[in-house]
Amino acid sequence: MGRWSKTKRIISISLLHLMGITPIVLYLYFLTTEDSRRERELLCSKIEIVIKDSTENKFIGREEIESILKERRVVEGVTKIASLDLNMLEREMEERDGVLRSEISYSSDGVLRVKVEQRRAIIRLEMGESRFFIDREGYIIPKGERVAYLPVVSSSHPLPYPSNHFGYIEQDDPFLFGIYKLALFLERERGWNKLIDQIESDQNGSLILYPRVGKSIIIFGPPKNIEDKFALLKEFYRKVAPLKGWDMYKSVDIRFKDQLVCKKR
């Protein structure tokens, strides 16, 4: 009898536990099911578009992003959030040549948030019919109607690329890769960036720099050994120009290693 009473107590306690737990489980199941149903039925209530660095770069506009969303039938108050493939939308945004990365998410009340980070151009090329930007990652972007205020490399000789070309610079293109390295240097060294007004290239890829201060042109040569050449130019501006005058020399030649050649007017 004692053993049977003990067994009954265990069964009674277990039943009480089940009676207490079952409603909780059912409630949680109901909540999960209801949340899932609401998410399936959730409509896109609003589209918020944020374009990073939009004041400095104009590589993609709100209208272009809205056009992509419209093509994918994303309409406020109509489209169900659950029907959207957000990863595919992000990839489609990033296929645009002016977009570095995108992030698309939504809130619990159906607000679709589209964040786009533009490529950050660091130099502009105006070479014959070739008009491109190069960004920080060495990516070539067709200029088109885009606007960015940057150092310009100009030439009457076009680059060997079609006008709609975009993609990363090949390292076996020494001229363009050198221009990219020069642009990175100028972006990092803001003082030089402010000093250099214009850059010209001849048919052989030799550069001439036109400074904003003084009337001496700078014969730079091919875009290589960049830091060494600017170190020579620094010596000219520190030691020669203050002593001899800013306009005494027609040109300052920094093409050769450890040689600063100044030609008088």
Residues 62 and 126 in one domain: no
In sequence order, the 6+-apart residues with CB closer than 8 A to the CB of 125 are: 131, 132, 133, 134, 152, 153, 154, 159, 179
Percent of the chain with pLDDT over 90: 41
Residues 99 and 198 in one domain: no
pTM: 0.75
Q: For 200-231, write each residue's pLDDT tens digit.
A: 999 889 999 999 888 889 999 999 999 999 99
Residues 221 and 95 in one domain: no
Of the three residues 93, 118, 143, the one that is the final residue of a domain is 118
Residues 145 and 193 in one domain: yes
Q: For 77-117, write each residue's pLDDT tens digit.
A: 889 888 889 999 999 999 888 889 999 999 988 899 999 99
Supply the CATH number for residue 186's domain.
3.40.50
Residues 95 and 220 in one domain: no
Range of the domain at 223: 121-264
Residues 243 and 138 in one domain: yes
Q: For 55-74, write each residue's pLDDT tens digit.
A: 667 788 889 999 999 988 88
- For Cα atoms 188, 100, 55, give the angle at the middle one, nearest 5 degrees: 65
Of the three residues 89, 118, 147, the one that is the final residue of a domain is 118
Kindly state whether residue 9 falls inside one of the protein's structural domains.
no
